Amino acid sequence: MYLLPRNVWLLAISLSLFMSLTVFVIFLGGIIGQFLAPNVSLSTLPVAMIVVGTASSIIPVVYIMRPLHKYE
């Protein structure tokens, strides 16, 4: 296990940091949005747009990643 290439270790570390940072950004987005938004009901709009953007990009990404030929 310790003989993995350096790039694999860097990818694993960066992915774990990215995943923890994502939760932190979503958590603080609503709190900071209450102070910045002119209307309190708009405080979570940026976080909601992140979720909607991610969900709407899944279908085009799946079509791009599918193989061009079928294996039989």
Residue 54 predicted with pLDDT over 80: yes
* Residue 71 domain flag: no
* Residue 38 domain flag: yes
Q: Give residue 51's domain range.
A: 6-65
| Total domains present in the chain | 1
Q: What percent of the chain has pLDDT over 70?
A: 90
* Residue 31 domain flag: yes
* Residue 1 domain flag: no
What is the rounded average pLDDT of the residues 3-14? 87
Q: Are 15 and 1 in contact (CB under 8 A)?
A: no
* Residue 44 domain flag: yes
Instruction: pLDDT band for 56, please (50, 70, 90 cuts).
Output: very high
**46: Cβ–Cβ under 8 A, 6 or more apart, which residues?**
29, 33
Question: Using one digit for the tens of pLDDT, what is the confidence trace for 16-41?
Answer: 888 888 788 888 888 888 888 888 88
Average pLDDT, the chain: 83
